[in-house]
A and B are shown apart, each in its own frame.
Chain A
Amino acid sequence: MSRLALVRSSILYNQVRSFSYSRPALVFARDFKPGEYPKTEAERRAAAKKYGLRPEDYEPLPDNGLGFGDYPNLGRISTDMKSDWGDYDDPYLKRNFGEPIHVVQDQITADKVSLAKTRVSFSQIVFWFLFGSFVFIGLNYLLWDKKCFIPIAPKQYPRNALNGEEKHYKF
């Protein structure tokens, strides 16, 4: 498998398939399917050469049922985390010729999901949302019967006075 095979046109769109956490299933074209998890040292070196990495840099995703055979683990780095000012051959993917492509590259392009660490963690988000909602609902519950109003008597219409019951006077 040559490096020319790993170009943008060969990336198929895997987003829909890989939402399952228990059995992620990415779609690879038949000729570009990654091989088996490398067990021997020779297999490792061959796999590193195949993907265009140095043997010491090559680290496959762990073989725990959530891996992708011998496809390398290029880290939790999405395209928007890479430098905007680098001189890339492919500016959309921020990738140079021959550079290995991340397994889920089509999901982590700059206009899609970002893997950057968020300023606000998920638990913070959940806490503040629940806090705000309970405060709002609680205030409504406590102050439901306590109304504010403009302190003025109701408007006087002559049709009500003509009935004789009610009479309207000046001051």
Chain B
Amino acid sequence: MGTGTSQYISTFTESWSNPNVVPSVLDKPKHDSLEGFESGRQERQRKASEEDLYWAKIPPNRRDYCADHLIELQRCRKLNYPFLSKCEHYKHDWDHCQNEDTILRMKEFERERRLLKRDERKRLSEEAAME
């Protein structure tokens, strides 16, 4: 067991002992997205419009921020069927986008977790100061 495994396990074992330190996996984060960023944050954009997604018949669960690459991939596949190995470039782009999206989600989780821990520390220090 390395530090990675124990850190991974501690993310949910902490939810059993100290639930208000662990971010939610289903709900929106409690803290403001721009808190702590002096120079602000870049917004995520999707170049494809709703109409493009409609005509490309992209299912709703795939209409995320990587849908642009997905539309290109599907177009390539349709043109080159059955030689789908010609679309590896677009597939790699889409996969890379998905990977970046997952990493961003992990970073969001970690950010939320650290903010919650900070709040907890503040609360405990206030309580200690009041006594």
Binding site for B on A (CB under 8 A): 146-159, 161, 166-171
Contact = CB atoms under 8 A, between A and B. Distances in A.
A155 B8 CA distance: 19
A151 B109 contact: yes
A157 B46 CA distance: 10
Dominant SS at the A interface? loop
Nearest to B33: A169
B114 interface: no
Contact of B109 (A152, A161, A166, A168): A152
A153 B109 CA distance: 5
Interface of B: 8, 11-12, 15-16, 23, 25-29, 33-34, 41-44, 46, 63-65, 101-102, 104-109, 112-113
Given A148-B12, A158-B46, A171 B63 contact: no
Nearest to B46: A158
B63 A168 contact: no
A170 B41 contact: yes
A158 B11 CA distance: 28
Nearest to A165: B28
A170 B44 CA distance: 6
A115 B106 CA distance: 63
